[in-house]
Structure 1
Amino acid sequence: MSVFPRTHLRSPRAARRLGAATALSVLAVFATACSDSEQAPATPAAAGDRVTMSDQWIKAADSGMSAAFGNLRNTGDAPVTLVAATSPASDRVEIHEVVPDSTGAKTMRPKAGGITIPAHGEVTLKPGAEHLMFMDLKQPLRTGSETSLTLTFADGSSTVVTAQVRDFAGGKENYAPGTENSSHGG
């Protein structure tokens, strides 16, 4: 059963108009659907593509522990969280912060939740503050040499940077991985 009165379908002219109107309607729907898909928001770039590290360096050390420092910059429109790091120079790399203990002395500890880099912002990793702690060095880190550092973000993406090893005499905070304290140079 047709929704159009029979008189409209008997005329060839009316049928052509109906056909033309139907074709225009289909084209309009198709054009709208295509333009909507072209205007859909783009998927945001992975955090590893939005974060860069500049002025990165690692403290020279013969064995044990060391630390990496530098400036992390987020070029994206949303905050990014650094949650892990690795390097072939050590068995593990931890994200650390330095806070005063009950006596006011600086104590270093793993930073829960990682380091958040604000949208279009920067975070500086530096001695006596947030930094990347190299634990159980596999070999000495000699002044002037370089090593790679892989930074991993909350979205699972990562980026690799190369850092130069430098001499640094400061940073005598206490390391507190729980109840055990030992001095180190990060």
Structure 2
Amino acid sequence: MIIRRVVPAGLLAVLTAAAVGACGAQQDAPAPDRAAAPAATPAAAPSGSGTPGTSSPLTVTDPWVKTAKKGMTAAFGTLVNHTAADVTVVSATSPLSSMIELHEVADVGGKPVMRPKEGGFTVPAHGTHRLQPGGDHIMLMGVTEEVKPGARIPFTLTLKDGGTMEFTAIGKDFAGGNENYDSGAGKGHS
């Protein structure tokens, strides 16, 4: 005797979406240097408020901010574009800092140099743009409050078309890559 279990179509759709979402999250995983990045925990990995089918064309997966006493720090994560057109982030704001710049790390004379990113971060249609230590990131300068592990830091990104999207990043300890976010901001420091 064969016993068949019937799964209601609605439940099947939810289960399928959950499985596809879990696989999609793995695509955003960094290359082999992942061991240097802080481990994300389910409770500490919120994403942006923009989701597919809403007014925001972007989400941010695994957003985090490097813990810091005061002064300078940076925010990271993966920008995900849910539209059929490129989306460009031109600025960011946060109550944590009155001076925030979109930065890149570029090779200048054989040395990595941190500098403002001309034109902002362009996220390709239906694609992603990774913000990571040693690469593109959101630089916070003049931070007057300590960023502790687990702190929840709100951000608003402004898009080239005038739209905005909000997300919350989590404070995480990070000691890899020898990044220095404590001096020379906006002056091509390394």
Which consecutive residues of structure 2, in runs of 5 or more, have no partner in the other structure? 1-51
**Retained in 2: the 8 A contact 1:91–1:138?**
no
Structure 2 length as normaliser, TM-score? 0.66
Q: Is the 8 A contact 2:141 2:185 kept in 1?
A: no
Does 2:124 correspond to 1:118?
Answer: yes
- Given the superposition, is the C-alpha separation of residues 145 and 84 from structure 1 closer, same or farther in structure 2, using an over 3 Å criterion? same
Q: Give the drift of 1:73.
A: 0.5
Q: Kindly tell me: are residues 145 and 178 of structure 1, through their superposed partners in 2, closer, same or farther at Cα, counting changes over 3 Å?
A: closer
Instruction: Tell me if the contact between 1:106 and 1:173 (Cα under 8 Å) persists in the aligned partners.
Output: no
8 Å CA contact retained: 1:107, 1:176: no
Is 2:156 the counterpart of 1:147? no
Per-residue Cα deviation, 1:10-62 (whole angstroms, up to 9, x for no partner): xxxxxxxxxxxxxxxxxxxxxxxxxxxxxxxxxxx9x9611000100000000
1:132 aligns with 138
Matched, 1:51 2:61: no
Which residue matches 2:166? Answer: 160
Letter in 1 for 2:135: A
Alpha carbons of 1:85 and 1:168: their partners in 2 closer, same or farther (altered >3 Å)? Answer: same
Contact 1:146 1:164 in 2 (8 A): yes
Q: How many residues align?
A: 135
Report the counterpart of residue 175 of structure 2 in structure 1.
169
Q: CA RMSD in A?
A: 2.0
TM-score with structure 1 setting the length: 0.68
Q: Distance in 2 between matches of 1:139 and 1:48?
A: 32
Asked if 1:83 corresponds to 2:90, the answer is: yes
4+ residue stretches of structure 1 with deviation over 2 A?
170-179
Larger of the two Rg values belongs to structure: 1
CA distance in 1, matches of 2:132, 2:84: 25
Contact 1:65 1:136 in 2 (8 A): yes
Counterpart residue number, 1:6: none
Secondary structure of the 1:129 match is: coil
1:57–1:163 CA contact under 8 A, matched in 2: yes
Classify 1:48/1:142 alpha carbon distance in 2 versus 1 (closer, same or farther; 3 Å).
farther
Whole-angstrom distance in 1 between the partners of 2:92 and 2:105: 18
Q: Which amino acid aligns with 2:76?
A: F
8 Å contact 2:133–2:179 — kept in the other structure? no
Amino acid of the structure 2 residue aligned with 1:94: E
Contact kept, 8 Å, 2:57 with 2:83, in 1: the verdict is yes
8 Å Cα contact 1:98-1:173 kept in structure 2: no
Structure 1: where are the runs of 5+ without partners? 1-44
